[in-house]
């Protein structure tokens, strides 16, 4: 199962992003397929915070538009939203220790732990910090080479 990180969600939503077309096409390919895919709940929260933040975007997305975007993703038949459940700490702790994670990177470890806990085999992200978690395969759908 593929999971999608915040940056791909933001780029897909924001038409003013340089990565908008690639991100939107990537998400559409998941949404229109019959295969299962996931969005971690922390990525939804972060998407809402970033897309509507006036210091990040001028103008920011209105919250109503950002909420509507999440509702649209929810309609995709293969999508599951994933979050912490029983056994989560057992996934998070070794990721933090082995990856020597500190500060803001704890959020990335949280997403990685949630993905691993739910059987995600690949995380789509433009964030290189996920390379600290070798148990989780990460790929950037925005820069894939086309054959």
Please, what are the domains in the chain? 2-139 (3.40.50.1010)
- The answer on pLDDT for 146 being more than 90 is no
pLDDT at 103 over 70: yes
Picking from 69, 1, 86, the residue whose alpha carbon sits closest to that of residue 40 is 1
| Torsional sign, CA 103, 108, 109, 114 | positive
**Percentage of the chain surpassing pLDDT 70?**
97
Sorted by sequence, the CB contacts under 8 Å of residue 29 that are 6+ apart come out as: none
Provide the pLDDT confidence category of residue 129 given band limits of 50, 70 and 90.
confident
CB distance 107 to 114 below 8 Å: no
At 120, list the tokens.
Answer: 């995600």
**pLDDT score at 143:** 87
147 confidence band (pLDDT: 50, 70, 90): very low
Q: What proportions of the chain, in percent to the nearest 5, are helix, strand and coil?
A: 50, 10, 40
Nearby residues of 90 by Cβ (< 8 Å), 6 or more positions away: none
Q: Tell the residue number behind the tokens 């070798």, with chain if given.
A: 134
Strand partners, 81: 39
More confident call, 63 vs 104? 63
Mean pLDDT of 25-36: 93
Higher pLDDT, 129 or 107: 107
pLDDT tens readout for residues 59-81: 999 999 999 999 999 999 999 99
**pTM for this entry:** 0.93
């Amino acid at each position: 199962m593929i999971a999608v990180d915040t940056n791909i969600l933001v780029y897909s939503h924001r038409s003013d992003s340089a990565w908008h077309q690639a991100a939107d096409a990537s998400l559409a390919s998941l949404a229109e397929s019959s295969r299962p895919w996931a969005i971690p709940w922390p990525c939804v929260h972060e998407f809402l915070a970033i897309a509507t933040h006036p210091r990040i975007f001028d103008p920011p997305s209105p919250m109503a538009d950002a909420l509507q975007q999440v509702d649209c993703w929810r309609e995709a038949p293969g999508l599951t939203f994933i979050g912490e459940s029983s056994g989560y700490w057992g996934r998070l702790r070794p990721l933090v220790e082995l990856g020597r994670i500190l500060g803001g990177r704890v959020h990335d470890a949280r997403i990685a732990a949630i993905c691993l806990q739910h059987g995600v085999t690949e995380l789509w992200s433009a964030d290189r910090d996920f390379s600290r978690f070798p148990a989780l395969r990460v790929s950037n759908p925005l820069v894939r080479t086309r054959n």
